[in-house]
Amino acid sequence: MGRKIEIFDQLQAIFNEQNQLATRRSLSASSNGVHLPATVENNSGMSWPIVESVMATNQKSALQLIRSHPPGIVLVELDQKSASRLRFCDVVRYRLPTASILAVSTKETGNGFAFDDVLPLPLVPTQVVRMIRRFGARRTEHLLHLGPISLNMATRTVTTPNGRYTMTPKQCALLKLLMSESGEVVERRKIMETVWETNYLEDTRTLDVHIRWLRERIEPNPSKPIYLQTVRGVGYRFEINNISK
């Protein structure tokens, strides 16, 4: 436990320093009339994502944290119980297939499937920063934000003013399609072909059920939708202009 806390404290110190640099840069840019995200770029153009870190003292609490607050990066210390840790990595990989898993270890390890890369001990700040930049950049590829609605495709969750909900693969694929083409009418035929992989349009009640489920989660008043609109006889449109009204 002592070594785990020591490693976490070292990582926290590195993250806090980079977060502070990113925040100062963002504030400086804003004062000059330029809006920039809170990131810090190196010479290669890679940016630093603001990092929030939490330590789990055992695998059970780690899995609970992953379920309640899905992370973009999971750091796993490998020690004499490495076989157990590798099994844990397999579980994380199954539950969060797009999360990056980094091993923290004093030795070389050959299990390339269990994790994406290795942070060698003792920790070197420049190596930590470089690796977090590299894997942190992957995180944004799985997120869609429109006003108060946020879709995480990696965890299949949608966060709205009504709450945070876990979706089925079809629900997630449907919402992703509509949000990706916000402001445009998406025809029912295209939805059925993209989400259900069929061109059969004689019975689209399944689509209607999924639309109703999405509205119950994202709309202030599902019976009078302002975000997910029906275009009669054609399809549906995700209207972002109504979000700010």
Q: Write the pLDDT tens digit of every residue in 163-180.
A: 889 999 999 999 999 999
- Range ranked top by mean pLDDT from 9-13, 22-26, 221-225: 221-225
The identity of residue 186, as a single letter, is V
Task: List the single range of 59-68, 73-82, 116-125, 134-143 with lowest mean pLDDT.
Answer: 134-143
pLDDT (tens digit per residue) in 185-208? 999 999 999 999 888 888 889 999
Q: Tell me the residue type at 134.
A: R
Whether the predicted pLDDT of 93 surpasses 80: no
Using pLDDT thresholds of 50, 70 and 90, give the confidence band for residue 38.
Answer: very low
- What is the fold of 2-141? Rossmann fold (3.40.50)
Mean pLDDT of the residues in the chain: 81
pLDDT band at 112 (very low <50, low <70, confident <90, very high): low
Q: pLDDT-derived band of residue 35, with 50, 70 and 90 as boundaries?
A: very low
Look at residue 216 in the predicted model and tell me its pLDDT: 96
The one-letter amino acid at 184: E
- Strand bridging mode 100-105 / 117-120: parallel
pLDDT score recorded for residue 29 = 46
DSSP single-letter state for residue 47: B
Question: What are 157's strand-pairing partners?
Answer: 152, 166
Packing angle, helices 188-195 and 169-180, rounded to 10: 130
Quick one: which of 73, 65, 41 has its CA closest to 140? 73
pLDDT at residue 99, rounded to an integer: 77
Q: What is the pLDDT of residue 209?
A: 96
**Burial of residue 44, with CB atoms counted within 10 A of its CB: 0-12 exposed, 13-18 middle, 19 or more buried:** exposed
Q: Pick from 158, 167, 162: which is nearest to 195 by CA?
A: 167
Rg of the Cα atoms in the chain: 22
Numbered ranges of CATH 1.10.10.10 in the chain: 147-242
Name, of 41-45, 50-54, 106-110, the range with top average pLDDT. 50-54
Assess whether pLDDT exceeds 70 at residue 108: no
Given pLDDT bands bounded at 50, 70 and 90, which one contains residue 244? very low
- Percentage of the chain surpassing pLDDT 70? 80
Whole-number Å distance between alpha carbons of 42 and 37:
15
Where in the chain are all domains bearing CATH 3.40.50.2300?
2-141
- Tokens matching residue 216: 């119950």
Q: What is the pLDDT of residues 138-154, one digit of tens each?
A: 666 678 888 888 898 87
CATH architecture of 147-242: Orthogonal Bundle (1.10)
- For residues 58 and 49, give the distance between their C-alpha atoms in angstroms, rounded to a whole number: 26
